[in-house]
Amino acid sequence: MGLLFKKISFVFLLCIIPFLGMSQLLVSYNKASKIDFKKYKTYQVYGLNVTTIPEFEPRKEALNFLITEIDSQMYARGYEKVKANPDLILNIGIVVSAEQKTRQTDIRDAPRYMGERNYHWESQEIVVQNYNAGTVILDVVESENSKMIWQAVSKGIISESIDKNKIRITKAVKKMFNKYPVKIKK
């Protein structure tokens, strides 16, 4: 019984391991040096540029939700959203790409017949899942001289469910603003 349980557990782990990394959220930052972020009081969302694959049409609801989440993070840091003459301009870029999750075969996979009576094992990449990935690039630009002073990039999986996407957008935006030079006002 113990050996059978170990084999079943091992097979289960082999099946689940490729999906463990699927909900990962990758974030990177870039900040201009010697900038006093506390001198800025207002901002404006200037642009939303979406680049996508032909098979995917982003939902307007998700795009609006992303802007709302960014607005809430800026507001929490004491910024006011204005329509004219802002201190900061926010440019938002979104790139959607089709990607594949793969795994490499190992010695436990069945050998393949190669040539005449020549059975041997060869490692291969096997596609486990096809999915769409979304990358959000947030540029914070000083409006006075059009100089980018801060940037955050976040990449994650796009779900079929709008509710799951909203949860992922909220987490992504919070994580993007974790390294923003102005902390949340209490």
- pLDDT (0 to 100) of residue 56: 76
Cα–Cα distance list, 140 to 36, 152, 168, 170 (Å) = 13, 9, 22, 19
Supply 20's token pair: 């463990």
Domain 22-101+122-177, CATH class in plain words: alpha beta
Show the low-confidence residues of the chain (pLDDT under 50). Answer: 1-23
Q: What integer pLDDT is reported at residue 132 of this predicted model?
A: 87
φ, ψ of residue 184 in degrees (nearest 5)? -65, 135
Residues 6+ apart with CB under 8 A from 72: none
pTM (2 d.p.): 0.74
Please report, for the chain, the start and end positions of each structural domain, with discontinuous segments joined by +: 22-101+122-177
How confident is the model at residue 113, as a pLDDT?
Answer: 55
Q: Are 133 and 165 in contact (CB under 8 A)?
A: no
What pLDDT does residue 19 have?
Answer: 37
Expressed in percent and rounded to 5, the helix, strand and coil fractions of the chain are 30, 35, 30
How much is the pLDDT for 102? 81
User: In whole numbers, what is the pLDDT of the chain averaged over residues?
Assistant: 81
Q: What is the pLDDT of residue 42?
A: 97
